[in-house]
């Protein structure tokens, strides 16, 4: 866990969590993968564009590329903002280098609808 970031867990194996590598982020960005949610914080006064490297098998809204141990998530975050992304999909057996894009379909205004089949995902080999 990066310095300056506090995570809270209920009934979790804290030793196992502490042993996990934290997400790797661009400078001025902190990230957490607590409970499977990807939380990113831009602590600067400038917009940030970059990649967050996350361990695990979850895919989030937006564009990401599978890696040997997780994903590389494309990040664009305005200055002095934060965002929480809930996991949308879990992937297994997909080789590294697959690009996945997921978003709420046009016409659906409720982001929770993604859990009900109102989302799409596309994967392409690099």
1 in any annotated domain: no
Q: With CA atoms as reference, report the closest residue to 22 among 33, 13, 14.
A: 33
98 in any annotated domain: yes
Give me the number of domains the chain comprises: 1
Residues 32-84 have pLDDT tens digits of 999 899 999 999 999 999 999 999 999 999 999 999 999 999 999 999 999 99
Over residues 105-124, the mean pLDDT reads: 49
Q: Which runs of consecutive H residues, i.e. helices, occur in the chain?
A: 14-19
72 in any annotated domain: yes
Percent of the chain with pLDDT over 90: 54
What's the CATH code of the domain at 107? Answer: 2.60.40
- Structural domain for 46, as ranges: 14-125
Paired sense of beta strands 70-77 and 98-104, if any: unpaired
């Amino acid at each position: 866990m990066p310095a300056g970031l506090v995570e809270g867990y209920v009934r979790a194996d804290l030793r196992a969590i502490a042993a996990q590598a934290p997400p790797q982020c661009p400078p001025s960005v902190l990230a957490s993968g607590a409970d499977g949610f990807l939380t990113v914080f831009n602590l600067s006064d400038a917009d940030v564009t970059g990649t967050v490297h996350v361990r695990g098998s979850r895919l989030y809204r937006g564009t990401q590329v599978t890696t040997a141990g997780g994903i590389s998530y494309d990040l664009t975050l305005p200055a002095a903002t934060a965002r929480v992304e809930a996991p949308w999909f879990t992937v297994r057996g997909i080789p590294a280098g697959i690009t996945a894009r997921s978003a709420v379909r046009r016409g659906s205004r409720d982001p929770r609808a993604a859990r009900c089949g109102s989302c799409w995902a596309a994967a392409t080999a690099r």
